[in-house]
Structure 1
């Protein structure tokens, strides 16, 4: 029995099909000066061909999975059209390297840079870069790119890796599920797998060496188990579990559009966490009543330079318009720690989580926050938008931020630009310091949102990204729960509300406890919304008499 990282739940039983989607070996010999122009032409032709292929995949994905999933490939097209990428590759060709080796070197360099970033979300973008690089090279070498929609027998795919463009072409009638050696839970490949609704486990070390073609496989991504050529009794048992899982999954559908009201009448708002505009479609599909956390740092991290006020305004405006008359909480830039932007030239630190991050950067780079606040305030004229600030530990910081908001408001008024003059302001409670002075903080803001990931990390002194101590990381540790209670009590005492947007909010095992504590809003990972709503509807807010 083997396990990995579950990315899409379910159980699949069937014969394995090992697929080799790697590039053929690239020769490293130098070319003559006469052939340089020919290699550049080959490269540019490959870029054009790759763009046309991705456009077709985008169209196919939109038809099969909807617009939100197809927009993943808009990002691929943007990378292929990136002048900097082409410039770097052509520079290497001019140094007498072949088009394919030049592409391989540039892509390898980009991946190396991305691997330095601790943030899981960005690390999982590596597979997108690999996908694009592989496609360019295959087109330079005139290698036919395998189309997984052409597989015409029922199989479970086993491979080293699957790219988003390959995954999007899966025909789920024949491909029952897949297992890969590489990949993470937030990669685009994983997102597409969830949309397809097929079982998938990634990050399974050496799976391609442990499985042979036509082995009988049980892929159980409910219990994180992979069985190779199992006994008959195991097959019967897994079939029963799958039947029960599918029945429960169907039952959860009815909770998507219901309110999360406890048995004794307490209504709790259920929002969704999003990283980008495309996530809204998934959130709405799963029944989100609001956007409880829009992480704007991913807008900054996806660019090679600071996004302009206009770029930000357009995106924020689209988000509030897409949510129609529902609440959207925009968190201002939370950079630093495990999230970095090369162009900001942030210093390298021994303890980045304890250093120069979030609001601490605003003081020295004041124009960044002023530009963002201006864009947010302009967008506030188009829907129910709220501002939330990260990493607050003192009243002094709140006074500073409120002063900046007033300066921006004054300038917008002078420029005759409309905005919501009474926009609500909230803060993240992510440190024991903020939790312990929450009574004072709640008098200065309209709401709190508990960031349970960082609150746990700072309370337990455990780096959640460090494998050596990650076993100590426990969001339901008594000390963390006590701090959450302090925060909720303080906010309610002052007539304010408290939400929770960390991973604890998405954990079904914590739902009833958080309801009892008095959390007013859960902002969760979109696929968890129906289940969280169901649990709340089966809970009591007050002790049952």
Structure 2
């Protein structure tokens, strides 16, 4: 039988199914005498301590096996445990209702989840997933329940589950779990992101799959097409073994491109650079042949800790990545982009109905110039060691840009007075992610050194569609003509002023979008490190003449699916 879902991580896997059993925890309600209330509170605090210890261990294991950025998922879980609104509500219920702690944990969790479900906000939805994972961990400690340990799987299997929590995924042994199938989830879910990082083929959102498959049944996971086959014929098994070998051979072949230039057959040099979140990611970018860093997400230096990072700590982090690439390759450092779905509990930021359109990124930095100035000092100091460029996120107006540059100039004067070296000619650019800036790109181009188009936000703001909301996800359309016209306008406006344009959103690593973007004149493509060699292979077989022809043709179309299919067909010619 064949079932379809969502392709979460490409590749092919074959093997017996290992079903992760339903781990619903039954909680009974019981009365507690007044004399024993303090004991219940102590039991709860001990469970909090053990759960936090678990998560710290899982976070460290994830950092070593998957990467620092992915490991930050568990920082969010730890923050739930530390949230006084959550733990305080549980303690209050134990005392006011004189009930057992297990029941109080479940009751308060259900109240929070019901509240979250009523809110149309992807940040809140992510917190709901974190809360479920954390509450389940608390209850297991309180009830003394052990669970299946995924780290103890002894043979190569296809892991099948209703859902995988980040904690589950972090415990996977990639040598044993060769494929993943889940009943729910999407490409942007935590487990899907981690599966891609671990390069485990995965298909998610296969409805009712736990009822359609039994442990031990032979399964094929086609992560590239988003489908699974249960109890396949021998012919299908042989076909997919051949696909698997071909896929692995392709990956080995791509490694030969690491030292080769990203140049079209007609001699046009294309810059393929990487997005990173920390120095370790910088090493992966080097290994994958990235020609620089197009987006250094500095917010990860601020997360998972109890206080702001010092100037010296930031300086060392920026300097280390800069030295990896030398003076000839760019390292674009984005100033702090906190807010939205990235909170810092020690900043005590205000609660907002729509944090993605609220107090975040450059808006926060211009308000908290003490934080901004410290970061700018670190970036400027590191600029003495290589080709660092500074980029401001979430710029909406020229006035914001000018205010940010005024703070930067003040910091430069401080460093000059202290005789601290820095690159006085360091380039300064902005992210183009708000449609207002794309429309006004001609004016902004006069005051910046470069643009970097952040398509993740630009697309959803242009289409007024939350890309994490499944009910309107069909409107998240990278190939919508309105989006393509905005991109073209930004590129043309910048080029008229002699300025370069990069792209650092997911669209930059989309092989179907690449010919269009190249044809529109995009100068730099910044993507995940694992996408660089695939993009280089495509660039080396795509002439600029062909790319321009494709771009001109799609700009005459008005259907996103028609555009996407046209590009795919043209690239097969």
TM-score normalised by structure 1 residue count: 0.82
Correspondences of 1:293-372 after superposition (within 5 Å): 293-295=295-297, 308=308, 310-311=309-310, 314-315=313-314, 317-326=316-325, 327-333=330-336, 343-345=348-350, 348=353, 356=358, 361=363, 366-369=366-369, 371-372=371-372
* Of 178, 181, 185, the match for 2:180: 178
Offset at residue 268 of structure 1 (A): 2.6
Q: Could you tell me how far apart the structure 1 residues matched to 2:171 and 2:459 are?
A: 40
Q: Determine which structure has the larger helix proportion and give its number.
A: 2
Q: Could you tell me how far apart the structure 2 residues matched to 1:345 and 1:58 are?
A: 27
Quote the residue 2:431 is aligned against. Answer: 428
Offset at residue 535 of structure 1 (A): 1.3
Return closer, same or farther for 1:524/1:119 CA change in 2, 3 Å cut-off: farther
Q: Could you tell me how far apart the structure 2 residues matched to 1:468 and 1:146 are?
A: 33
* Of 479, 492, 504, the match for 2:495: 492
Correspondences of 1:411-426 after superposition (within 5 Å): 420-426=423-429
**Helix, strand or coil at the partner of 1:388:** strand
Offset at residue 448 of structure 1 (A): 0.7
Offset at residue 426 of structure 1 (A): 0.4
The answer to whether the 8 Å contact 2:77/2:131 transfers is no
Quote the residue 1:163 is aligned against. Answer: 165
The answer to whether the 8 Å contact 1:290/1:323 transfers is no
**Helix, strand or coil at the partner of 2:154:** coil
Offset at residue 276 of structure 1 (A): 6.0
Quote the residue 1:441 is aligned against. Answer: 444
Q: Could you tell me how far apart the structure 2 residues matched to 1:260 and 1:110 are?
A: 50
Q: Could you tell me how far apart the structure 1 residues matched to 2:24 and 2:56 are?
A: 22
Return closer, same or farther for 1:73/1:338 CA change in 2, 3 Å cut-off: closer
Offset at residue 180 of structure 1 (A): 1.8
Quote the residue 1:242 is aligned against. Answer: 244
Offset at residue 446 of structure 1 (A): 0.7
The answer to whether the 8 Å contact 1:293/1:329 transfers is yes
**Helix, strand or coil at the partner of 1:152:** coil
Correspondences of 1:92-491 after superposition (within 5 Å): 92-95=93-96, 96-105=98-107, 107=109, 116=119, 118-119=121-122, 123-124=125-126, 126-274=128-276, 279-280=281-282, 282-295=284-297, 308=308, 310-311=309-310, 314-315=313-314, 317-326=316-325, 327-333=330-336, 343-345=348-350, 348=353, 356=358, 361=363, 366-369=366-369, 371-383=371-383, 384-392=387-395, 394-410=397-413, 420-459=423-462, 464-465=467-468, 467=470, 470-491=473-494
Per-residue CA shift, 1:216-243, capped at 9, x if unaligned? 3222111101223344444343333223
Q: Could you tell me how far apart the structure 1 residues matched to 2:76 and 2:433 are?
A: 35
Unpaired runs of 5+ residues, structure 2, are 548-573
Q: Could you tell me how far apart the structure 1 residues matched to 2:71 and 2:155 are?
A: 29
Offset at residue 125 of structure 1 (A): 6.1
Return closer, same or farther for 1:475/1:313 CA change in 2, 3 Å cut-off: farther
CA RMSD of aligned residues (A): 4.0
Return closer, same or farther for 1:419/1:262 CA change in 2, 3 Å cut-off: same
Q: Could you tell me how far apart the structure 1 residues matched to 2:247 and 2:185 are?
A: 25
The answer to whether the 8 Å contact 2:362/2:393 transfers is no
- Between 79-88 and 214-223, report the one with greater CA deviation: 79-88
Offset at residue 25 of structure 1 (A): 0.4
Unpaired runs of 5+ residues, structure 1, are none
The answer to whether the 8 Å contact 1:13/1:217 transfers is yes
Offset at residue 71 of structure 1 (A): 4.7
Return closer, same or farther for 1:361/1:18 CA change in 2, 3 Å cut-off: same
Per-residue CA shift, 1:461-501, capped at 9, x if unaligned? 65545555543443233443343333323323333211011
The answer to whether the 8 Å contact 1:54/1:76 transfers is no
The answer to whether the 8 Å contact 1:271/1:292 transfers is yes
Quote the residue 1:30 is aligned against. Answer: 31
Offset at residue 148 of structure 1 (A): 1.7
The answer to whether the 8 Å contact 2:445/2:494 transfers is yes
Q: Could you tell me how far apart the structure 1 residues matched to 2:155 and 2:91 are?
A: 42
Quote the residue 1:524 is aligned against. Answer: 527
Per-residue CA shift, 1:389-437, capped at 9, x if unaligned? 2344554443333223324444565677765543321012235543444
Quote the residue 2:565 is aligned against. Answer: none
Return closer, same or farther for 1:166/1:398 CA change in 2, 3 Å cut-off: closer
Per-residue CA shift, 1:441-468, capped at 9, x if unaligned? 2221111111233444455565545555
Offset at residue 506 of structure 1 (A): 1.1
The answer to whether the 8 Å contact 2:20/2:160 transfers is yes
Offset at residue 505 of structure 1 (A): 0.5
- Between 43-52 and 444-453, report the one with greater CA deviation: 43-52
Q: Could you tell me how far apart the structure 1 residues matched to 2:316 and 2:106 are?
A: 39
Per-residue CA shift, 1:105-135, capped at 9, x if unaligned? 4555666677647347x85565454434323
Q: Could you tell me how far apart the structure 1 residues matched to 2:368 and 2:501 are?
A: 28
Quote the residue 1:3 is aligned against. Answer: 4
Return closer, same or farther for 1:30/1:530 CA change in 2, 3 Å cut-off: farther
The answer to whether the 8 Å contact 1:127/1:187 transfers is no
Q: Could you tell me how far apart the structure 2 residues matched to 1:337 and 1:313 are?
A: 27
Q: Could you tell me how far apart the structure 2 residues matched to 1:405 and 1:391 are?
A: 17
Return closer, same or farther for 1:103/1:319 CA change in 2, 3 Å cut-off: farther
